[in-house]
Amino acid sequence: MKKTLHLCLALVGILFLQSCQQKTTPAANDYFAQSNDTIQNGGIKMIPITTPKGTFNVWTKRVGNNPKIKVLLLNGGPGATHEYFECFENFLPAEGIEFIYYDQIGCGNSDNPNDESMWDLARYVEEVEQVRIALGLDETNFYLLGHSWGGILAMEYSLKYQKHMKGLIISNMMSSCPEYGKYADEVLAKQMNPAVLAEIEKIEAAKDFANPRYMELLIPNFYEKHILRFPAKNWPEPVNRSFAKMNQSLYVTMQGPSEFGVAGKLEQWDRKGQLKDIAIPTLVIGAQHDTMDPKHMEEMAKLTPKGTYLYCENGSHMCMYDDQKTYFKGLISFLKK
């Protein structure tokens, strides 16, 4: 009798496990399912964008399929490419999270009109909205993740179009460029060797930004300390590939030529006072060694009604690389709430 009971329990256990497997396997298959397109092209979609200067095509690529969580990635720079986000492939697919690479106009695989009048924040907001519509993203699934300059664009977009969003992630970007400039002058600059800082300031005063000595000084004394905390020779290939394609016209027009603070079109950009108007769930990601003030970014999370702060203690501006475990654990937790 006891043997029969044990056998029955064992059979029930096996059937239960098979049932669980049957429930989970289709979900995995759905995530990697082919699209409805006649020809499979790796999830790439070219989207025509209407602008005051005509129509231009932008490049997007979908990774995975999740009807409830779709994360559109906004690259930094301004003028870098989607490529430095490739580390996301090692973390998000395993969690069933869909994400979408996107090169903004003037960046990477998208059209470059070579027209400085196109490098405009308000125009980029409308570009993102057209991308959202073309990809069928809405308030039931649409998360927007903006890193660095992409964080500015994400905040600006959210203030106008949050009704179409499920959530917002601001990664490594302050809500005020004047406060960023102050932090660069009063904190970051003072951490630098005075002799090195004096030489950098001399080059900047002469506007001699093409001088190779400028980068010789910045790489070990600034980039390796605050952009990505590895020796530059060991920087991840996707980062190097993305930065090598930087649209300098776009970068200088928006950011300015200096690495300390902002001197371009964004110099006076400040949305700190409007963060209270972002009503959707918001994750703000800051890092101890960032070019951006981590305390300011923590305050941003408190100013947004549904804000959460993710602090990367060991990270810098690219903390998706130099504090990966903290970054992706926090991001995934936020997306799956």
pLDDT tens digits along 236-261: 999 999 999 999 999 999 999 987 77
**For the chain, what is the mean pLDDT?**
92
Q: How many helices (H) and strands (E) does the chain have?
A: 11, 8
| CA dist., res. 181 & res. 200, Å (int) | 16
Q: Which two tokens stand for residue 158?
A: 């959210």
Mean pLDDT of 131-153: 98
- For a pLDDT cut of 90, what percent of the chain falls above it? 86
- Residue 137 phi/psi, 5° resolution? -90, 145
User: What pLDDT is attached to residue 15?
Assistant: 42
User: What pLDDT is attached to residue 261?
Assistant: 77
Identify whether the C-beta of residue 312 lies closer than 8 Å to the C-beta of residue 288: yes
pLDDT digits (tens, 9 = 90+) for 218-229: 999 999 999 999
Mean pLDDT of 100-120: 97
| CA dist., res. 239 & res. 232, Å (int) | 10
Measuring CA to CA, which residue among 147, 170, 38, 37 is closest to residue 101? 147
- Determine which one of 82, 103, 110, 148 is catalytic: 148
| pLDDT band at 141; cut points 50, 70, 90 | very high
Type of residue found at 16: F
Helix spans in the chain (H): 2-31, 121-135, 149-161, 177-183, 194-205, 212-218, 237-244, 248-255, 294-303, 319-322, 324-335
User: What pLDDT is attached to residue 23?
Assistant: 41
| pLDDT band at 27; cut points 50, 70, 90 | low
- For a pLDDT cut of 70, what percent of the chain falls above it? 92
User: What pLDDT is attached to residue 4?
Assistant: 46
| CA dist., res. 35 & res. 46, Å (int) | 15
Q: Is 47 helix (H, G, I), strand (E, B) or coil?
A: strand
Instruction: Decide: residue 37, CB within 10 A, 0-12 exposed, 13-18 middle, 19+ buried.
Output: exposed
Counted residue by residue, the chain has a size of 337
Residue 53 has pLDDT above 80, yes or no: yes
Whole-prediction pTM value?
0.91
Residue 29 has pLDDT above 80, yes or no: no
| CA dist., res. 252 & res. 119, Å (int) | 10
**DSSP 8-state code for residue 97:** -
- Is residue 164 part of the annotated active site? The answer reads no
Identify whether the C-beta of residue 272 lies closer than 8 Å to the C-beta of residue 297: no
| CA dist., res. 311 & res. 36, Å (int) | 40
Mean pLDDT of 113-126: 97
Q: Is 261 helix (H, G, I), strand (E, B) or coil?
A: coil
- Is residue 35 part of the annotated active site? The answer reads no
Q: Which two tokens stand for residue 121?
A: 């924040």
- Is residue 277 part of the annotated active site? The answer reads no
Per the rule left: phi > 0, alpha: psi between -120 and 50, beta: everything else, 314 is alpha
- Determine which one of 158, 242, 317, 323 is catalytic: 317
pLDDT digits (tens, 9 = 90+) for 92-104: 999 999 999 999 9
Gyration radius (Cα) of the chain, Å: 22
User: What pLDDT is attached to residue 25?
Assistant: 35
- Determine which one of 290, 293, 322, 323 is catalytic: 290
| CA dist., res. 172 & res. 168, Å (int) | 13
User: What pLDDT is attached to residue 19?
Assistant: 45
Is the backbone peptide bond immediately before 78 cis, with ω within 30 degrees of 0?
yes
